[in-house]
Structure formats: C-alpha cells, structure tokens
Amino acid sequence: MKRIAVTGAVGNIAYSLIFRLAKGELFGANEPIALHLLETKEVAPGLKAIEMELEDCAFPLLKEVISGDNPEKVFEGTTHLFLVGAMPRGPGMERKELLSANRKIFFEQGKALDKRADENAIVLVVGNPCNTNCLIALHQAERLNRRNCHAMTRLDQNRASALLAKKAGCAVTEVEKALIWGNHSTTQVPDYEHATIRKKPVKDVIHDENWLNTTFPSQVQKRGAEIIAIRGKSSAASAASAAIDAMSSIVHPTKEGEWYSSGVYSAGNPYGIDEDLVYSFPCRTLKDGTVQIVSGLSLSPELVEKMKVSEKELKEEREAAYVGSSV
C-alpha cells in the first residue's frame, strides 16, 4: 500500500490534490492508498470535513485516512510526501520573501521525515520558496536519500510546454523536452533550445526569435504573479495537477530520450552548479527508481549566464535561510 502524505491539507492546492490522489491517479487502479493529512493546530478541525468528503466519494482504492497536526505522527511510514503546507505570497511579493515565515516549517518537517518516513520515501516540496525549503528539509532528513527529495518546477515546465504549443499552433503533446533550469522564481531559466516540436528543434517551427528569447521566458517566469494579480490567490488547480505530474515522473521510469524538470540536490551535477543547492535540472528516472540528472547537454553562453544568475539567487536564499539551523 502506498502511504501518501499531503501537508497543508485544508489549503487551496490540497483541495485540488487530495481527491485526485485518492482516486488513484498516481499509481493506477490496482494500488491501494492510505492518505496522511497534516495541518496546523488552528486549521486542523477542517480536516474533518475533508475526511467526510473523502468518505462520500467512496473511492475504492482509499483504505485509510490518518490526519492531525503532529508531523511525526502523520508522517509515520509514509512513502510519498507532498509538502504543500506553507504560506503563499500575495500580490507584489517575491517568493523568497516567504522564507522567514516558512523556513521553520521545513526545518521541523525535515526532522519528522528523518524520524518517521519510510527510508525510501519520495518527497516533493511545493510550498514556496520550494527549492530552498527542500534544501532545508533534506539537510534535516539525513536518513533519506537526498536524490529522492524534489522541489516542484513542473508547473513551470508545463507552462513552458503550453506556451510553446500555443505559439506553434500544435497540441501540447507535440512539445517535448521543454526544460526549466534553476530556481522556481523569476530567475528560473525556461529553455527551448533543447525542446522539440513534432520532433523538430523549436527554432525550425517557431521563427519568431524575439518571442522565443524575450516573451516566452518572461511569460513563464511571471505566470504565477500574473495569476495572483487576477485571482487574488496563487495558482491551485494547476499547481495540484503539476504536483501529480511531477511525482508521477519521479516514480515511473522515464521513456528513452525523454526527461522532466525537477529541483534536485545539486551534489555531483555535471553543469558546474554549486554542490549544495536544490536546483532544477533535466532528470530521468531509471528502471530501478534511481533519479539521475541528464548530463551532456550543450549549453549556449546565454543559457549559462542565466543559469548562473539563478544559482546566485539560490546561494543568497541558502544564506538567508540559515540552512541547518533551527533559529
């Protein structure tokens, strides 16, 4: 049985995520599921309503629901964790401004992961700033495999694929290998140079170089803020959908010649990025479940320069987060 944890279970994203997980979207129709739902003490009473709705859905695969406000209890034996619970940003804010409020959540939950999660647990950090929150958690969760800890840049990848498809007038499934490097922030590097549309290089299909080099990256980088400005709240359904896509890519072997973007621990990366960051790279999951950073991609000087800017921002976040310290 897969034991799937969702933190921030009464929040916006969780409401779009939990029911899809309970339906079996991640592991298919034959895998029973237990849900482990975590909230803060103040909001924990709201978990009752989520549990009632789950019951009313009569999901055949859902065998057990465990909920509460104690991370150690809720994480007991969990195999797949969606760490969503964290403060979201409001209009005009940058995600890194959330660090002072959210860092302690990931410090505490990293410790709880270390004590209670399954030793092969796979962790996807969604709460922002997700790269640095993931770094904080993995430094506490020493028992876990660091390569199993991910920060979600899949929403950015999905946004990039959708934009390229719209511009090319093709189906989104015809866009492959769109890629995000770096931080889930405005310094992220959406990369079309390694992507293909109908198996051809993007530049052979979209001839508008100005759009590719300026409009495209800027729209991906600012999409989250644009949604907040219109909706008053951050993206939720698309974030939940990306979280399922991200975890699905991580747990299932990657098809030959493909990759997915994920924020992973940078130790041993082949692109010269600082070795103690969570940085978004092209990744593949091998048949034995190992996650590898794809090596050997040739990078244009423009791309390298942008990747360095994102790396610098992540180093600054690492410093501001006092990674490894509880204060």
Question: Residues in the site for ligand LMR, rule: CB under 6 A?
Answer: 88-89, 95, 128, 155, 224-225, 227-228, 234-235, 239
Q: Considering the complex, state which of residue 162 and residue 205 has its C-beta at the smaller distance from ligand NAD.
A: 162
Residue 49: count other Cβ atoms within 10 Å of its Cβ.
Answer: 10
The catalytically annotated residue of 36, 139, 150, 184 is 184
Q: Shortest approach of ligand NAD to residue 263 CB, angstroms?
A: 9
Does 43 interact with ligand NAD (rule: CB under 6 A)? yes
204: left (phi over 0), alpha (psi -120 to 50) or beta: alpha
208 SS3 class? coil
In the chain, the N- to C-terminal Cα span, in Å, equals 37
Residue 130: HSE in the Cβ half-sphere, 13 Å Cα cutoff? 30
Residue 125: HSE in the Cβ half-sphere, 13 Å Cα cutoff? 35
- Subset of residues 182 to 201 that bind ligand NAD, contact rule: CB under 6 A: 184
Q: Shortest approach of ligand NAD to residue 7 CB, angstroms?
A: 4
Does 11 interact with ligand NAD (rule: CB under 6 A)? yes
Residue 84 touches which member of ligand NAD, ligand LMR, none, C-beta under 5-8 Å by kind: ligand NAD
Q: Considering the complex, state which of residue 235 and residue 262 has its C-beta at the smaller distance from ligand LMR.
A: 235
Does 149 interact with ligand NAD (rule: CB under 6 A)? no
Q: Considering the complex, state which of residue 124 and residue 228 has its C-beta at the smaller distance from ligand LMR.
A: 228
Does 310 interact with ligand NAD (rule: CB under 6 A)? no
- The correct pick among 20, 23, 25, 40 for binding ligand NAD (CB under 6 A) is 40
Does 8 interact with ligand NAD (rule: CB under 6 A)? yes
- The correct pick among 157, 185, 235, 261 for binding ligand NAD (CB under 6 A) is 235
């907040």: which residue's tokens?
228
Give the Cα separation of 234 and 26 in Å (integer).
24
Does 127 interact with ligand NAD (rule: CB under 6 A)? yes
- The pair of three-digit structure tokens given for residue 82, joined into one six-digit string: 């969606």
> Which residues, 6 or more positions from 242, have their beta carbon under 8 angstroms from its beta carbon?
152, 154, 155, 157, 158
DSSP 148-200: GEEE--HHHHHHHHHHHHHHHTS-GGGEE--EEEB-SSTT-EEE-TT-EETTE
Q: Shortest approach of ligand NAD to residue 106 CB, angstroms?
A: 9
Give the Cα separation of 264 and 266 in Å (integer).
6
Residue 117 touches which member of ligand NAD, ligand LMR, none, C-beta under 5-8 Å by kind: none
Q: Considering the complex, state which of residue 39 and residue 191 has its C-beta at the smaller distance from ligand NAD.
A: 39
Residue 183 touches which member of ligand NAD, ligand LMR, none, C-beta under 5-8 Å by kind: none
55 SS3 class? helix
Calculate the CA dihedral of residues 84, 85, 87, 91 and round it to 10 degrees.
40
Q: Shortest approach of ligand LMR to residue 190 CB, angstroms?
A: 12
Site stretch for ligand NAD (CB under 6 A), options 34-42, 137-145, 201-209, 291-299: 34-42
- The pair of three-digit structure tokens given for residue 229, joined into one six-digit string: 């400005």
> Is residue 150 among the annotated active site residues?
no
Does 247 interact with ligand NAD (rule: CB under 6 A)? no
**Closest by Cα among 127, 131, 130, 202 to 161:** 202
Residues with catalytic function:
184
Contact positions vs ligand NAD (CB under 6 A): 7-8, 10-13, 38-40, 43, 84-89, 105, 126-128, 130, 152, 155, 184, 234-236, 239
